[in-house]
Structure 1
Amino acid sequence: MTRLHTAASAAIGVASTLGVEYGFAKLVHAGPKGTVVSMLFGAVLAMMGMMALAGNDSTWGKVRISAFFPVAIGIGLSAGTLVNHNTDLMLIIFVIVMFAAVAVRRFGVPFFFYGFMGWMGYFFASFMKASLSALPGLFITLIVATIWILLLSATVLRANPSRALLRTRKAFDSRARAVAKASENLLLHVPDQDKMHQRQKLLKRLRARQVQLSEAALMIEGWSAEPGALPVDYSAPALRRRVLDAQQVLDRLAVSAEALVDGSLEVKRLAATTAGHLANRNDEAAVKTARQLEQVIVNGEVELQEQYSAEGFAQAALELAEIGLEKVYESSDANQENNGVVVRVDEFKPVVGLFMGNLPGSPALAQNVPAVGRRWNPLARLDLTLRQAVQVAIAGGLAILAGRELSPVRYYWAVIAAFIMFTGTATRTESFIKGLNRVIGTLVGLFASIAIAEVTAGHTLLVLVVVVTSIFLGLYLIRVSYAYMIFFITIVIGQLYTILHEFSTGLLVLRLEETAIGALMGFIVAVAVVPLSTRDTVRAARNNFLRDLSVFLQAAAAKLRASTVLTKDSNGDSNGDSNGDSNGDSNGDSGVNLDAQSLALDNHLRQLALVAKPLTRPVIWGYSPRVRHRLALYAALATSVRSVAAALRDEHLRDRQWSNGLLQEGEQLAAVFDELAESTAQYAQACSSHKRPRASVQAESASARRQTLLETESIWGICVQSQINDLSSDPVIRRLLHLRGLLYDLETSPSDPL
């Protein structure tokens, strides 16, 4: 939904700015060429300006940012106009401008766009051979476009955090239903050795839907912190809790569906029907079939090995129907209790911030990852932004040299390809993929552009419709694949040349060749000049995940201990005095917020999957089939953490009904969490030092295994004390066993780079 709003805003901004600039050009009698130039400048400024203003909600903030649009483009225009008479000087300054355009990004998000605008200004002035006498008219054109964009952004296209949060909540609802649908499809699969590939495909799709759901939950987290996103009587912590409740129930539904794939036909039929009803928003019917599934279990028609999974599926479906995804956004007291602690809305701290209305990309993680050759190359010691500025300058210079060998006039397409390769990327593999997508998008777009140009030739209004539609579709699909964006941009370029009466198949083929040259130069520089290793970035993301996992497990131990201490106090150890002392920290956990910590772990998992994605593609060097498996293990860890966070909430701990005779259970469980945390920290340290990380849970660490109380006798001892007849009936112990198994799998399997 955010992509749709962003793309629609940019398309409306471009379309309306084209109209405004056309009217202004006619008003000042600019002539045919002047009219085209004014419209082109206005359209470019509108597309970049709308994105630059999208992340700022205050009117004054928009005014401050937009005031420098003409300045940024004007600097580039002026520089290009002054040197465009001398080709060699122009090209030298062009390289310097590319360096500066990237280097200024270190000063904040607005400078990302200022740099881009300055670069575009220089580009236009240089290759259009602008004269000094034309500058005043161009500046007026920019000012008109800026005023119009600001007016749109502050009024009809103004980003409304409240509506944005509502759209994100609806996206969460849709993705939740998609998880149920994927579960249904998996359950409908008939086990067959000849159809194992189809089964793996369905499993992969289910896990992909869970990842998308997690991203939507993080988006809700980010928007909840925006001023004005929540009404004054709504609680951000309470919304976080309801979203996590829904998410962890859907996790259980998906996990149970996976376990039931090889189950009996009747159980699978009822489970699939239940999931289908949930996917179609028919909660009443879902409750009915879930009850039927429970009855089948009660009647003893289910084998013992699948009884737990069937019960888990039925309970998850019933809880999901009871929660009602549409009610996740319902009002709640602004001073809602959060984990037993009163948390005001203005004290809410999101675990992730948004960048232009979206979750941050890989550069946010890669900022602190050292480049290759740091010991001997002083350039490698620069921060990421300056390193990329150096890379862009060198790649741009090489693209100029190679591109001019092919075409002394159109080589700027090679320069553009090289420049864009280092925008929004961090690692050398990401740069390669972006360059490859640019070539593919240009190639496919070439054929589409030729076909569309034959239809629109001579029809100016139709050309404008195609241009605006292509801009909308390109921006909407860019997060799916950069190739889509370039595909539609190629169509736009074809239409622009149609208006200028310069369109030809040979011209578009030349653009493809120049683009390939620029991509090749960019890739060579990304690999050879202060490169950032994909594997190093993946290792950094993995270490962040493991460290946060260790912190979570320590917090869980602290919460369990605090719960037992509070129980002792309430049983008379402190004669009621401690009740007054614990006011404001009623769960005795000193404000431990497991919900927030589990969400932070989700964000680290998202970053890990993002930077490791290239290594899951067979066409990329360094590909390993183990990467997908290990990513699935990390995802399972995050799922278990969400379940633990829910199981250790205050109301659930109170339901355990600790007594003086059973308090040792809580202390033992806390010890389990502590030792798991220590084991995870040791593993993270081993990973950080690039040692073989197998020591912390394997036989080499017998002491840790003995102390964690995860041996069978210790766990059954706790169960006997607590009168628990089945491990699966206690969510905390069940998740402890699952966490221990997952950590053991991680530490005993080949790990590089994960």
Structure 2
Amino acid sequence: MSLPVSPGAQWRREMLRRGRTRVQVERRDLKDRIGAADPGGVRLHMAFRVVVAIAAALALERLWSAVTGIGAAPVMLLGAVVAMLTASGIRENTRQRTFNAAWPVLPAAVLGGGAATLTSGVKWLTLVLFVVVSFVAVWIRRFGPAWLTYGMVGWQSYFFILFLGPPIHQFPIIIGALALSAVSTTLLLCTVLYQDPAKRLRRTIAAYRARARAVISAALDVLAEPDDRAPVKVLRTQLVQLSEIVLLLDGQLSEDRVLPPDVSPWALRRWVVDVEIGMDELVSAVLNYTEIAHQQPFTLTRRVREVLQAVGWADSDRAAALALQLADDPDAPAPARQLGRGADFLIDTVARWTSGELLQPATGEAKAALSEFESVLALRAGRLPGTAPLAEKAVKDADAPAWSPARLRLTTRQAVQASVAAALAIWIGHLISPQRYYWAVIAAFIAFTGTATASDTVRRSLGRVVGTTLGLLAAVGLSGLTAGHTPWTYVVLLISLGLAWYLFPISYGAMIFFLTVALGQLYGLLHEFTDQVLELRLAETVAGALIGAVVGLLVLPASAMRTLRVARVELLGHLADLLDSCRDLVLRGGGIPPVADRRAVTAQVVQLDADARQLVQAVQSLVTGRFFSSDRSGMRHRVAVLGSAAAAARAVASLVNRGYPRGTETDIDRPAYAAAMRELATESHRLASVPELENATAPEQQDIAARVGELLDPAVRGPARTAPLRHQLKRLADSLSLLTPRGRP
């Protein structure tokens, strides 16, 4: 017989239960935010690699200085620079490939350092060679990502030998210092700093699921405040970040040893894309529901929230039951039923991963096709590439005369820019300080590292000025705390370098801030930390950054506007190709398409994701100005519309891959759906061909949305199960119609 519980005790128990639940929610949200912010731990591992490599190099170089009798500071500085560049630039997925990519670092360092040492007695020759080294260091980037590292190592070795000015008889000792750093870093990268690609993939998938939960959380915020546009903006940002992880996963799937033997990367790619499509459907349904939320009963909105919460918390049984109830409710409005269908599809898709189905060894035809898998994007140092491929297409004109600059590749253009900027920085830097001019040179040269367009160069130059200014202020404050405490100086130095590389993919200015703090500690070790040195450092940096920006704008510039147009053409062209492929499958009929066709369509979907990301990146690279001759508001509108079109096309492809249209009257429906897809593909090609989107006046016939609507109206008599495909095609038509202004001649 249980004793009665007082109301006060019941209240305390309920409060404790709610408190524990709240703590669980907050802990999971924090874990999700951390995991989703750095998919696969790429940035964290990069920072760890850099810090460990530099620490090992500093220890070895200090020992080398004790053995050789040379001053510790110069060789430690050289060793740290080589270790930093090697650890951050060389990233392969096997130990053998890591070694093959890392061993040329030493010859590059020796060539750069040797050239500076051997010409140090002839000032004019040293400066001329500095310009030549700047050209070569950029030009060789065309051979691949590792060559960017070789060029930077050679350039920085030349630069720091000029900075340190060792006598020529110490050259063998300098070579030994460079060798110690290069060899030790290579060994570390092949052993303790090697990251297992399979573990990285699992962490990236965990981050993918965490980002999906973040999207659902943002969708719940939109439901809570349907009239507030801020949560909608956050929701769209979360979707963009989700698609970036899709591309990151696709890039990892082509790496060796990332999956167990005989596990199909094709199946995992399909799963990743299906999760994204399910999230697209949920978000679209939520946004549609918010437009009518005020007209709906509170109980229905609560049911919608319960479905989202159950999906977000991975309560699959409850989520599936609630989703099916909502999808089959004849009294619920269309957006609510759409959300139920999307949630049901997403639950089934996630279950394929949690059940272990995707990690089962492939058999038969699927096993034979394992070696045919190729990623849409090749990762660079574990990260997604920038806009350089687009800029390459934008600047090169194969039909131009042989002598025309329009035939130059992007790397050649940037090499010319870097050498011109270096020459100007040497001249102007000497006017500011004949002893410290090299800081102007490095600021000008770095402006052309990791950039593709003139706008990229200007943004990077501005970020360098701001980061350097704030970093110098922080360095002054820290110098008083670490002065005379060498161990603490090294601690601050290493922490600053780690933070610099962790934040680099997020903010170049933040990276420069922490690098400047680290340089402040370095000046302290060299006993050169004075107010005059800091003032000269800032003046030279501002001059070099300004030179880099001006040269980027005036000397063989890669236009950001042309790059944007190429991004738009690529997206719309691949959208049309995807629709053509779907049309062929619809006309062929016969239920679910063959495996090879489904794989081809899924690859096209990933390519569309890559195009959408490139478009967003190209827009973000703009400093000021206009998008397709439009203002900023028009730019944001067009990007959102193109993103919506890509999402609708993904959904169409997913439905076709699952055998839609299907039912008892598919023979009647198929010609209508195929004709609609043909119209949409034709319109995509038309929009891709116009020079300016805002001037893409409609053709003589009626609007694309009306044309597709007429074609699909007869399909209404088809079975209800064809409704999702009809809905997505109309959604795509509506998006494309928004890209054609009304009422223009």
Answer yes or no: same fold by TM over 0.5.
yes
The verdict on how the C-alpha distance between 1:588 and 1:718 changes in structure 2, with shifts beyond 3 A counting, is farther
TM-score with structure 1 setting the length: 0.86
Within 1, Cα distance between the matches of 2:594 and 2:357? Answer: 25
1:500 deviation in Å? 1.5
Within 2, Cα distance between the matches of 1:601 and 1:386? Answer: 29
1:252 corresponds to 2:278: no
Counterpart for residue 389 of structure 2: 364
1:587 deviation in Å? 3.4
Aligned ranges 1:461-500 → 2 under 5 Å:
461-500=487-526
Counterpart for residue 649 of structure 1: 657
1:509 deviation in Å? 2.8
Within 2, Cα distance between the matches of 1:618 and 1:179? Answer: 31
The verdict on how the C-alpha distance between 1:269 and 1:120 changes in structure 2, with shifts beyond 3 A counting, is same
Q: What letter matches 1:136 in structure 2?
A: P
1:269 deviation in Å? 4.1
The verdict on how the C-alpha distance between 1:206 and 1:562 changes in structure 2, with shifts beyond 3 A counting, is same
Q: What letter matches 1:743 in structure 2?
A: L
SS of equivalent residue, structure 2 residue 374: coil
1:719 to 710, 716, 719: 716
Counterpart for residue 638 of structure 1: 646
Q: In the alignment, is the contact (CA less than 8 A) between 2:455 and 2:623 conserved in 1? A: no
Q: In the alignment, is the contact (CA less than 8 A) between 2:630 and 2:694 conserved in 1? A: no
1:41 corresponds to 2:66: no
Deviations 1:479-522 (A, max 9, x none): 11100100000000000011112112332232122111111111
Counterpart for residue 373 of structure 2: 348
Within 2, Cα distance between the matches of 1:207 and 1:466? Answer: 38
Q: What letter matches 2:636 in structure 1?
A: R
1:389 corresponds to 2:415: yes
Deviations 1:100-131 (A, max 9, x none): 11111122222211111111111122222222
Q: In the alignment, is the contact (CA less than 8 A) between 2:278 and 2:342 conserved in 1? A: yes
Within 1, Cα distance between the matches of 2:651 and 2:327? Answer: 22
1:526 corresponds to 2:562: no
Counterpart for residue 535 of structure 1: 561
1:671 corresponds to 2:669: no
Counterpart for residue 600 of structure 1: 607
Aligned ranges 1:419-568 → 2 under 5 Å:
419-563=445-589, 566=590
SS of equivalent residue, structure 2 residue 260: coil
Q: What letter matches 1:717 in structure 2?
A: P
1:337 deviation in Å? 9.1
Counterpart for residue 680 of structure 1: 684
Within 1, Cα distance between the matches of 2:343 and 2:725? Answer: 20
2:122 to 74, 86, 111: 86
Q: What letter matches 1:53 in structure 2?
A: I
1:50 corresponds to 2:87: yes
How many residues align structurally?
A: 697
1:115 corresponds to 2:172: no
Counterpart for residue 580 of structure 1: none
Counterpart for residue 256 of structure 2: 227
1:248 deviation in Å? 0.9
SS of equivalent residue, structure 1 residue 349: coil
Within 1, Cα distance between the matches of 2:368 and 2:577? Answer: 21
1:609 to 612, 616, 620: 616
The verdict on how the C-alpha distance between 1:63 and 1:256 changes in structure 2, with shifts beyond 3 A counting, is same
Deviations 1:40-84 (A, max 9, x none): 111111111113331x23433333333322211111111111222
1:206 deviation in Å? 0.7
Q: In the alignment, is the contact (CA less than 8 A) between 2:141 and 2:411 conserved in 1? A: yes
Q: What letter matches 1:647 in structure 2?
A: L
1:591 deviation in Å? 6.5
Which structure 1 segments of 5+ residues have no match? 192-198, 568-584
The verdict on how the C-alpha distance between 1:336 and 1:182 changes in structure 2, with shifts beyond 3 A counting, is farther
Q: In the alignment, is the contact (CA less than 8 A) between 1:380 and 1:387 conserved in 2? A: no
Within 2, Cα distance between the matches of 1:482 and 1:270? Answer: 44
Counterpart for residue 574 of structure 1: none
1:429 deviation in Å? 0.7
Q: In the alignment, is the contact (CA less than 8 A) between 2:454 and 2:560 conserved in 1? A: yes
Deviations 1:281-315 (A, max 9, x none): 555665576578669x56x4x5xxxx111222233
Aligned ranges 1:282-321 → 2 under 5 Å:
283=316, 286=319, 300=331, 307-321=333-347
The verdict on how the C-alpha distance between 1:344 and 1:460 changes in structure 2, with shifts beyond 3 A counting, is same
Within 2, Cα distance between the matches of 1:619 and 1:30? Answer: 60
1:320 deviation in Å? 3.2
Q: In the alignment, is the contact (CA less than 8 A) between 1:463 and 1:495 conserved in 2? A: yes
Counterpart for residue 572 of structure 1: none
Counterpart for residue 15 of structure 2: none
Overall identity of the aligned pairs, in %: 31
Q: In the alignment, is the contact (CA less than 8 A) between 2:74 and 2:164 conserved in 1? A: no
Aligned ranges 1:159-308 → 2 under 5 Å:
159-189=195-225, 191=227, 199-262=228-291, 263=293, 264=296, 265-281=298-314, 283=316, 286=319, 300=331, 307-308=333-334
Q: In the alignment, is the contact (CA less than 8 A) between 2:652 and 2:728 conserved in 1? A: yes
Q: What letter matches 2:89 in structure 1?
A: A
Counterpart for residue 7 of structure 1: 47
Within 1, Cα distance between the matches of 2:573 and 2:687? Answer: 9
The verdict on how the C-alpha distance between 1:155 and 1:457 changes in structure 2, with shifts beyond 3 A counting, is same
The verdict on how the C-alpha distance between 1:750 and 1:281 changes in structure 2, with shifts beyond 3 A counting, is farther
The verdict on how the C-alpha distance between 1:446 and 1:406 changes in structure 2, with shifts beyond 3 A counting, is same
The verdict on how the C-alpha distance between 1:375 and 1:542 changes in structure 2, with shifts beyond 3 A counting, is farther
Within 1, Cα distance between the matches of 2:565 and 2:307? Answer: 41
Aligned ranges 1:5-154 → 2 under 5 Å:
5-26=45-66, 28-31=67-70, 33=71, 35-54=72-91, 56-154=92-190
Within 2, Cα distance between the matches of 1:337 and 1:631? Answer: 43
